[in-house]
Each structure stands twice: as C-alpha cells, then as structure tokens.
Amino acid sequence: MLKERPDPAPWRPPVGITPRLSDAELVTLAMMQAILGFTSEAKWLRHARAHLRHLFPYLPQQPGYNKRLRKAAGLMRSVNRILATTTSVWSDDVWVVDSTPVECGHSRETVKRFDLAGWAEYGYCASHRRFWGLRLHLVCTLQGLPIAFALTGAKANERETLLDLLAAECELLRERHGQTLIGDKKLLRPWFRTRTVRAWSPVAAAGP
C-alpha cells in the first residue's frame, strides 16, 4: 500500500543512508504484532526471527524497533485510517462514545519517579475508584472499530475532550448526515447535545 500511496510515509532524501527495514516493512511488522496478540516487543521479535525471516530479511533489535515505532506514530495512524475506511463498518451511522482509566502506578514512589509524572494525575472512576494515571477517550462503531481517540490526564473533562475529538475529525461529520452518538447520561447531557448539534448539524446525540 505504501508503495502505491507513499504520501503518508515520512520524507527521505534521495541521497543518504536507507533504513534496512523499510517503512512498509515496519508498518507490516507492527500490524502483524497487534493482530497476533503480542504485547511484548521482545517476544514478538523473537517470534518473527524464528518464523518470519522469509518475509523480513532484516529485523532490528528491540530498542531500535521501539525507536522506529515511536517516530512512525503519525504514519501508523494514517495507515490505520486508510485500512479502516476500506471496511464495511466504517460507514456505520451509530457511534459509541466512552472513556476508561489507564492506571499507571500505585505507590507514591512510582508516582514521583515515573516518566509520566507531570502528565499522569490522580482521578476518579466509579469502577476503579481513585487512581493515578491517564484516561483513554474513544469514539467507535458498534462493531468496535475505532473512529477517534485521545489520551489525556485522569482529570480531563470528558465532554470537552469529546468536543475536541469531534472538532479534530470534523471532515468525517460533514460526510455523515444523521450520525448518532450513544453514551452515558453524564457525557451526553442536554447542554452537550445542543452544543454538538449547533456546531455539527449532521450529528444527533442519544443517551440511555
């Protein structure tokens, strides 16, 4: 796909050192890792060396693989979006909106020393009670296909974050007339419904 549509790939000078693992191979490797359920990069690379050498002549070590993935975050998102638009569920006229806590630590020492200190924060969730970490906000179809997401601090306002997500994906809303949002009552209160419909007339919000 990247060979036919190279625009999402990062620009590289025509003269210079060419990566031994191409961008297309990197994306394919990362996709296969996710599909096969490998959460550990080190275990995945060991598996790839043992079973996928015929597909990937060169496989980096775990630190190099992780570094390439971090730099390719924008590319991965673009490829995911392109692949998502080719599925039948992309045109679903109902979206589910919700958020979930991402707990990052328990002890006070972890809170002080963790790399996310200053970004992660204390928050509250009915099921997790008080926790320290982040919050994942997600808009997806009824079949579970992600449409938009955001990772924020634990105290971030869910309604404001959702509005920001919809604003960032406004081109999607312009293409969809009568789109329905399903969420809980605290997320889709009347003022939010009014504000959402006023800003994006094709969207209709519904809550239980």
Q: What is the DSSP string of 13-41?
A: -SSSPPPSS-HHHHHHHHHHHHHTT---H
pLDDT tens string 182-199: 887 766 665 555 555 444
Among residues 54, 65, 84, the alpha carbon closest in space to that of 26 is found at 65
Helix pair 23-35, 73-85: axis angle to 10 deg: 70
Q: Is 183 helix (H, G, I), strand (E, B) or coil?
A: coil
| Whole-number Cα distances in Å, 207 to 99, 170, 180 | 15, 21, 10
Here the tokens at position 18 are 């060419």
pLDDT tens string 20-47: 898 889 999 999 999 999 999 999 999 9
pLDDT tens string 45-102: 999 999 999 999 899 999 999 999 999 888 888 888 888 888 989 888 888 988 999 8
Residue 48: alpha-carbon gap to chain centroid? 24
pLDDT reported for residue 17: 74
Question: Residue 134: beta bridge partners?
Answer: 102, 153
pLDDT tens string 109-159: 766 666 666 778 888 877 767 888 899 999 999 999 998 899 998 888 888
pLDDT reported for residue 175: 74
Give the C-alpha separation, 60 to 144, whole Å: 32
| Whole-number Cα distances in Å, 1 to 4, 22, 60 | 5, 13, 22
> How many other CB atoms are there within 10 angstroms of residue 199's CB atom?
13
DSSP 93: S
pLDDT reported for residue 7: 64
pLDDT tens string 115-129: 666 778 888 877 767
The number of C-alpha atoms within 13 Å of 100 and in the hemisphere containing its C-beta is: 5
Give the C-alpha separation, 167 to 93, whole Å: 18
Q: What is the dihedral of CA 180, 183, 189, 195, to 10 degrees?
A: -40
